[in-house]
Amino acid sequence: MQSFPGVGVSPGRITGTIKQMPRPLAEPPAGEKLAAGTDAATATAALQTASKAVQAELQARAATARADAKAVLEATALMAVDPMLIKSAVKLVNAGTSAERAVWEAAEAVAAMLVNLGGYMAERATDVLDVRARIVASLRGVPAPGIPSSDQPFILVAEDLAPADTATLDPEKVTALLTAGGGPQSHTAIIARSLGLPAVVAAVGIDQLPDGTEVYVDGAAGTITTQPGEAERAAAAAWAANSSLLSVFDGNGTTADGHLVPLLANVGGAADAVKAAAAGAQGVGLLRTEFCFLERDTEPSREEQVAAYRGVFDAFPGKKVVLRTLDAGADKPLPFLTDATEPNPALGVRGYRTDTSSPGVLERQLAAVAEAAGGSEADVWVMAPMISTPAEAADFAAMCTAAGLKVPGVMVEVPSAAVTSESILREVAFASLGTNDLTQYTMAADRQLGPLAALNNPWQPAVLQLVRLTVAGALAEGSGKPVGVCGEAAADPALAVVLVGLGVSTLSMTARSLAAVGAVLATVTLKEAQEIATLALSANSPAQAKDWAREKLPILAKLGL
């Protein structure tokens, strides 16, 4: 039996066999020639065989795919044998280029043409590049990049997952996520929580296990073991029986003694919002508007924006919806807003700061929000990401007022905003702690880097101190302005109790976590939560803070959280 300790980021106990995500495909070197002894005719035949094999595989996947994915897969299957693509690759082969390099360059040219056309065509360039990678993989006899397809459910193991992988991740097939890299705030963690899959990240060496190895995963404890025995199977069965109890939230976040803590949802669009409302969310604590901007070359029109925002507002009539204005930059680049050549994008022109480099985009977004809010029954609040100073808060509040938006607020993600929250809250109506970025900036640890996972942990006592300071600033300001949390920290039931104890008034999280957080919060009084928070603040390490808090919350072990 082998053990792989990692960082548990999404609870659940499960056994299953693993499949490794293939490594990204290396580009065939520029100028690569036909191998000695291979003539152009043989290489052309190999290329045609590979292109037909890729077509057949994509057609087979299209046959079992859902309607929306089916159309895309059918078109992609046709691209694999496209006469224009293959003819131009064969031309290169006839001039002496290797088959791999030929298809690489031919597809590059087609993709560039599509990108130049913009809009829908530009989005299809990704499909051409996907087909190219598959053909090259087939020529080399290695697995195609991307999430492996399988008839049987499996546990996916990867170095780390990118946001784009979410689209092809089928939660019916993938039962857990394990990564060798990544931290508690990495995309893998966010994807796992939103899909409700057990997940362990930063498990060094897990990417070396062969496909088909059976493992036991405990996503709360952060452990992975091979050759599961009777005890592990029993634990997995108990979790399966228990987890259905943790899937229902009654829509009433409160401590045992009736201190109300509204539990809100983080959403990225109307479809998410409808699901969150069905899961009992008491409103939206974070509407990530960049999702309607991502993968765009140009700014979406006002009509598009109004429709996208109203779709979310309409899911929560009479309830609060906190909209975060465009948060581009760092790991979410946008061609029309951010500079991809910045040496240090996490500390660069991102979030609210893009208003100085590309003025107008934010103003037009606020106008669209106001129009969407005007026609809806939701109570719309608006906040800016990456605010660092009271002056920025004041400028943002003035822009909101000019647009006719009544409740302006700020995200507290930069330590300077936490430290000066009293002055900042004089300028705006509320603050919301974005614990993911607050952690990476407090600890000076890139949230995407596996080796820094231990630093990049929202249980770090320094991060908890900044939460405490932000709340203290709001109290000192004197008019009772609320401070919420909308980072991943709020989805951890034990940490949620600590945050409430620190004086946070609302918690916003992925809708999947509402029931677990609600269930645990209902077992403690406000006074107990405050005591647990004091304990966590006095710890020397995130592990100690977490252990001390969990010791006081026996319900967690009982529920397998």
Task: Give the catalytic positions in this structure.
Answer: 187, 486
- Least distance in Å: CB of 219 to another protein? 39
Contacts with 367 (C-beta within 8 Å, 6 or more apart), sequence order = 302, 403
Residue 247 is classified by DSSP as G
CB atoms inside a 10 Å sphere around CB 306: 20
Q: Which stretch binds another protein (CB under 8 A): 108-116, 142-150, 364-372, 391-399?
A: 108-116
Q: In this structure, are strands 214-218 and 223-226 parallel, antiparallel, or unpaired?
A: antiparallel
CA distances to 11, 30, 225, 507, 560 from 231, in Å: 18, 54, 12, 35, 14
Distance CA 524, CA 556 (A): 12
Q: Is 120 in the site for another protein (CB under 8 A)?
A: yes
Q: Which stretch binds another protein (CB under 8 A): 84-92, 386-394, 424-432, 453-461?
A: 84-92
Residue 70 or 426 having the CB closest to another protein: 70
- Least distance in Å: CB of 61 to another protein? 15
Q: Edge-to-edge strands of the sheet including 13-20?
A: 3-5, 223-226, 214-218, 13-20, 154-158, 174-179, 199-201, 7-10
Residue 85 or 281 having the CB closest to another protein: 85
Residue type, 519: A
Contact residue for another protein among 47, 93, 99, 110 (CB under 8 A): 110
Distance CA 304, CA 96 (A): 49
Binding footprint of another protein, residue count (CB under 8 A): 18
Q: Is 83 in the site for another protein (CB under 8 A)?
A: yes
Beta-bridge partners for 360:
none
Q: Is 79 in the site for another protein (CB under 8 A)?
A: yes
Q: Which stretch binds another protein (CB under 8 A): 82-90, 244-252, 257-265, 279-287?
A: 82-90
- Least distance in Å: CB of 132 to another protein? 12
Residue 364: which H helix or E strand, with range? helix 361-374
- Least distance in Å: CB of 75 to another protein? 4
Site string (87-106) toward another protein, x via CB under 8 A? x-------------------
Q: Is 362 in the site for another protein (CB under 8 A)?
A: no
Contacts with 489 (C-beta within 8 Å, 6 or more apart), sequence order = 435, 436, 439, 458, 495, 496, 499
Residue 84 or 237 having the CB closest to another protein: 84
- Least distance in Å: CB of 72 to another protein? 9
- Least distance in Å: CB of 74 to another protein? 5
- Least distance in Å: CB of 110 to another protein? 5
Q: Is 60 in the site for another protein (CB under 8 A)?
A: no
Residue type, 39: D
Q: Taking the chain, what is the end-to-end CA distance rounded to the nearest angstrom?
A: 24
Q: Is 128 in the site for another protein (CB under 8 A)?
A: yes
Residue 89 or 279 having the CB closest to another protein: 89
Q: Is 124 in the site for another protein (CB under 8 A)?
A: yes
Check if the beta carbon of residue 561 is closer than 8 Å to that of residue 238.
Answer: no
Check if the beta carbon of residue 177 is closer than 8 Å to that of residue 217.
Answer: no
Q: Is 71 in the site for another protein (CB under 8 A)?
A: yes
Check if the beta carbon of residue 406 is closer than 8 Å to that of residue 458.
Answer: no
Q: Is 121 in the site for another protein (CB under 8 A)?
A: yes
Q: Which stretch binds another protein (CB under 8 A): 72-80, 187-195, 218-226, 295-303?
A: 72-80
Distance CA 83, CA 390 (A): 60
Contacts with 258 (C-beta within 8 Å, 6 or more apart), sequence order = none
Backbone angles phi, psi at 540, to 5 degrees: -95, -15
Contact residue for another protein among 26, 45, 78, 557 (CB under 8 A): 78
Residue 118 or 404 having the CB closest to another protein: 118
Q: Is 112 in the site for another protein (CB under 8 A)?
A: no
Provide the sign of the torsion angle of the four alpha carbons 421, 427, 432, 435, taken in this order. negative
Q: Which stretch binds another protein (CB under 8 A): 73-81, 208-216, 280-288, 345-353?
A: 73-81
Residue with tokens 């059976």: 214
Alpha-helical runs (H) found in 228-327: 230-243, 270-278, 302-313
Residue 19: which H helix or E strand, with range? strand 13-20
Residue 424: which H helix or E strand, with range? helix 421-427
- Least distance in Å: CB of 84 to another protein? 4
Contact residue for another protein among 84, 391, 462, 543 (CB under 8 A): 84
Tokens of 482: 């609320």
Q: Is 114 in the site for another protein (CB under 8 A)?
A: yes
Residue 121 or 240 having the CB closest to another protein: 121
Residue 133 or 217 having the CB closest to another protein: 133
Q: Is 56 in the site for another protein (CB under 8 A)?
A: no
Interface residue list for another protein (CB under 8 A): 71, 74-75, 78-79, 82-85, 87, 110, 113-114, 117, 120-121, 124, 128
